[in-house]
Structure 1
Amino acid sequence: MELDERVAELERRVAALEGAAATEPRLGEGDFWALETLKEQLAALGAETGGVLFTGSVRMPAGERYVWQQGALTEELLDGDWTPAAESFAALGHPVRLRLLKEIFAGRRTAAELAELDELGTTGQIYHHLRQLTATGWLHTKGRGRYEIPGTRVVPLLVALSASLP
């Protein structure tokens, strides 16, 4: 094969790859497929004030897989009592608690493993933070001194985190 033919073939292959990459759906790009589906559902319900939806599919480092979807009508959210959410938000509002949740996501599950980490305080302080997270449902204990994020809280926690980042 001549050099010109080889270059032309490479150019065709690169163009094909670039075209395929441009048409691949990506998060945060393209049309609002999730939003359009939500709008259709809201229209079918006659929900004039709208609604919100969050969804996710997560595989944890230890192999657990969680899929979750939750939606709410705007009117129900605005008319509801927001005060019960205060404790849940407060539990997430401390840097050490967020670090504990991050480490538990990463696979450190026992209090002893968490106590080995720098900058988290004394063992007593770590247990205090773990109790706060457990009391508000962000964690539960599984066996002796072993913590995990409940499956029903994995995606909501990641949604709260992503919503809080600039």
Structure 2
Amino acid sequence: MTTEELAARLAELEARVAALEGAPAPGGAGDAGTVTYGGQVRLHGEVAWEIGYDADAVLGLPPAAGVRVLAALGHAVRLEVVRHLLRGPASVAELVEAVGGSSSGQLYHHLTTLTGAGVVEADGGGRYRVPATGVVPVLVLLLASADLGGVLR
């Protein structure tokens, strides 16, 4: 990890701590209100996640990590890889077959982008997965993007 990446991660953590310290008590909201999301899903194991942030604190979060995640998900092949991995871990060969049209070299390139953004992780056994802490947030991003794109209307 480069010094620049470490500095960005430290800034992100500091902003998250500051937001948590300044976050309203559960059930309360700051002057700007509260933004929340959560879910309980059983795709490849049971995962529950819920988070709430003061709206002003959300606007104060450093953009670097969010930009990396959105950029990583902003490619059709990477999005299909993530959608496949939300159903369970897979090897590169399984992912090549699932997304079609990509060579294993191209897929490794996409996996590097996804792992660098924290959307996907290697499980150490030659397989990739969406980390448990990322399952609900990624599903929320998929749902929110479909909503913004007019698919849900």
Q: TM-score range by the shorter chain?
A: 0.7 to 0.9
Identity rate, percent: 37
Q: 2:89–2:127: 8 Å Cα contact kept in structure 1?
A: no
For residues 82 and 108 of structure 1, the distance between their equivalents in structure 2, rounded to whole angstroms, comes to 29
Q: 1:96–1:120: 8 Å Cα contact kept in structure 2?
A: no
Would you say 1:53 and 2:39 are equivalent positions? no
Q: 1:120–1:126: 8 Å Cα contact kept in structure 2?
A: no
Segments of structure 1 that go 5 or more residues without pairing to the other structure are 1-37
- Matched with 2:16 is none
- Matched with 2:130 is 149
For residues 142 and 115 of structure 1, the distance between their equivalents in structure 2, rounded to whole angstroms, comes to 18
| Alpha-carbon distance, 1:52 to partner | 0.3
| Alpha-carbon distance, 1:117 to partner | 3.1
Match of 2:27 among 29, 36, 41: 41
Alignment-mate amino acid for residue 56 of structure 1? G
How many pairs are equivalent?
123
Structure 2 matches for 1:36-115, cutoff 5 A?
Answer: 41-43=27-29, 47-60=30-43, 62=44, 64-107=45-88, 109-115=90-96
1:107–1:77 distance in 2 versus 1, CA, 3 Å: closer
1:120–1:103 distance in 2 versus 1, CA, 3 Å: farther
Higher-Rg structure is: 1
Segments of structure 2 that go 5 or more residues without pairing to the other structure are 1-23
| Alpha-carbon distance, 1:118 to partner | 5.0
Would you say 1:158 and 2:139 are equivalent positions? yes
Superposed CA deviations along residues 72-105 of structure 1, whole A, max 9, x for unmatched, are 1011112332233111110010010010011112
Superposed CA deviations along residues 40-64 of structure 1, whole A, max 9, x for unmatched, are 8125xxx11101000100001x4x0
TM-score between the two structures when normalised by the length of structure 2: 0.73
Q: 2:122–2:128: 8 Å Cα contact kept in structure 1?
A: yes
